[in-house]
Copies of this chain bind each other. A is one copy, B any other.
Amino acid sequence: MTPPSPFSPAPSDDRLPRYHRIRDALQSEIAAHTWRPGQPLPTETELAKNHGVSIGTVRKAVDSLVADGVLERFQGKGTFIRRPDFQSSLFRFFRHLSVDGTVRIPESRILKREETTMPAAVATAMNCSPGAAAIRLLRVRSLDGKPLLAEDIFLPRARFAPLLDIDPREFGDLLYPLYEQYCGVIVTSARETLSAEAATVRHAKLLELEPGAPVIVIERVALGLDRHPLEWRQSRGSADQFRYHVEIR
C-alpha cells in the first residue's frame, strides 16, 4: 500500500465537470505551495486562459474554494490564499481563557512524544486501520502558569513523520501551523464531541485539581481540505469556568 502523499497531484477524474477539475488543480497547487500566502493568484482571466475555459467556469471553481475558506477574494485587488487564523476558527472555542475578552493563546508544553500504533477507538474515529503506525503527543496547555488543558493527540505516522525530526520543545504553542509548515497538511474543519467525567488521579495531577473533580472532555477529529481525518485529539479541562461557544449550520 502506498502511503498517500499530500503533495501528489490529485488524479482528478476526466468525467468530473470542468470547474471541479479546475478546483482540484488549484487545490493541489495550493498544497504544493505554488503561491505563498499574501501573494495573489493569477487573475481570473489568466486562469481561464491557462485552463482553456471561459471566465465563468474559473469563477465557479474559485467560488467553491472561497466557500471552503481556502481562498479569499478582494474586489480590485485579487484572489489570495487565506491565512488560516487559528484565533478565530478552531481556536475561538477557548474564549473562556480570556476573562477580559481578549484572545490569548495558552503556552504549550509537550510532555511526551512517542511512536506507537492507533488504538482501536482512535482508528475507528479516524477511519483508518487499527494498529496503524502513529505518533502520539501528550501536552499540557497553561495560562499564566496555571494548567488549563491536558491533551492526548494521535497522528498517522505516514503523513506526520517530519514531526519526529524536530525537538518537541520547539513545537511552539500551536500545532496546526506546525503541521502546515513541516507536513504540508492543512486543517480546515473538525468534528468535536463534548462530555463530562470525574478527574482521574493522573488528569487531576496534570490539571492541578482534586481527583474526582468535574472535568470536561473534548474529543476532536480534525479534517483536511479533502475532509479526510488528519488528527485525533482528546482535551481535558476543569468544568469550572468552562465555556464553549459554537455556531450551528
Contacts and interface: CB of A to CB of B under 8 A. Distances in A.
A214 B194 CA distance: 15
Please tell me how many copies of the chain the complex holds: 2
Given A196-B239, A239-B214, A246 B191 contact: yes
Contacts of A245: 191-194
B244 A69 contact: no
Dominant SS at the A interface? strand
Nearest to A194: B244
Interface residues of A, number: 26
A189 interface: yes
A55 interface: no
Nearest to A193: B245
Interface in A83-104: 89-90, 96
Nearest to A244: B194
Contacts of A190: 247-249
Contact of A196 (B188, B191, B192, B216): B216
A194 B243 contact: yes
Nearest to A67: B67
A174 to B, nearest CB: 16
- Among A188, A191, A196, A242: residue with most chain B CB under 10 A: A196
Contact of A243 (B90, B96, B193): B193
A240 interface: yes
A195 interface: yes
A247 B196 contact: no
Nearest to A187: B249
Contact of A249 (B188, B214, B216, B244): B188
- 5 closest A-B pairs by beta carbon, nearest first, are A196-B239, A189-B249, A194-B244, A214-B214, A190-B248
